[in-house]
Amino acid sequence: MNKKLLTLIITLFITSTLLAQVTVGQIDDFEDGTKQGWGIGNAATNQPTNVATDGPAGVNDNFFKYTTNGNPNGAGSKLLIFNKNSNWIGNYTGANVFGIKFDVRVTGSDLNLRVAFQNNLTGDQICTTNSVVVTAGSGWTSVVIPITASDMQVVGGSATVANLLSSGNINEVRILSNVVPSWFGQAFSGVPTTLDIDNIETSALLSVNDNNPLSSFSISPNPGTDRLNLKLSGFHDNTNLEVFDVLGKKIFADRLTNASTFVDVSEWNAGVYLVRLTTDTGTQTKRFVKQ
């Protein structure tokens, strides 16, 4: 084969592979009338649907609806949806995806929502350690599920969470309800439970509250060598600072007493760190690179 043509084909292949990967800010809003790759097992007869109106934005806002069949087990009984589309696979750490955000409405049973991932090469599985509780009958609610290495635990196989998140081999994402971290959703026996969901988005910034006072917290310089300067738009009591390394190990923790502060990072190893601020109203995480 012609060398130039071969190079072109290889370049196109690499480009298309990169384009297919998960990216920050991608949103499944279901406005195209499809399920955008979200689904449940093929064996179930109660398949989810795209509903054309009554989403979080009201009239004509499409959303994804799944109702469990109320059976104690088997196809269609578990509160679990998954996606294997190319835009949901890849390297979440490398893509700076630290959270999964979505709008959700629940009827039937209260849900303990979690996000789980699988590595297709090893079969290893991870799930978020803490659940986000959504009460049945409370209408549309916005939630963010943090998915950094410190937010998740291994639920199948022998991977470490950090390695799986950065492996580039994630081939399946799940949104599920379970009282414990798991690769599987729980069945609500006898109680058909409905999950309405919309605007499923990958997020670089974690905030459980859009009015979060932390929304303008900044880090500088980034990358940095000696000092990590932190600036908050406003100061709130009970603001805790934690820093995690890329393996999810907490390497620094402090309670802030001021809207602007700094941490001496001169002794830290070069690499990527996650800087997390937590107040009574929410949590936000940013990425810091030590040179």
Q: Which residues bind Ca ion (CB under 5 A)?
A: 29-31, 55, 60-62, 198
CB of 248 closer than 8 Å to CB of 148: yes
Partners of 18 in the β-ladder: none
- Tell me whether strands 227-231 and 218-220 are parallel, antiparallel or unpaired: antiparallel
Nearer to Ca ion by C-beta: 61 or 201?
61
Cβ proximity to Ca ion, 51 vs 219, nearer residue: 51
Which distant-in-sequence residues (6+ apart) come within 8 Å of 81 by Cβ?
38, 39, 40, 48, 64, 66, 174, 175, 176, 195, 197
Considering the complex, state which of residue 29 and residue 151 has its C-beta at the smaller distance from Ca ion. Answer: 29
Total length of the chain: 291
Tell me how far, at minimum, the Cβ of 211 lies from Ca ion, in Å. Answer: 22
Q: How far is the CB of 105 from Ca ion (least distance, A)?
A: 12
Least separation, in Å, of the C-beta of 81 and Ca ion? 15
Residue 63 CB, shortest distance to Ca ion, in Å, is 5
CA distance 25 to 226: 31
Smallest gap from Cβ 102 to Ca ion, in A, equals 10
Which contiguous run of DSSP H or E holds residue 231?
strand 227-231
With tokens 């190893």, the residue in question is: 269
CB nearer to Ca ion: pick between 60 and 266: 60
Closer to Ca ion by Cβ: residue 35 or 276: 35
Would you say 60 or 225 has its CB closer to Ca ion? 60
- CB 209 → Ca ion: shortest distance, Å? 22
In order, the DSSP letters of 19-57 are: HHS--TT-EE--TTSS-TTEE--TT-SS--EEE-S-BTT
Question: Token pair for residue 144?
Answer: 């963010």
Structure tokens at 223: 């990358």
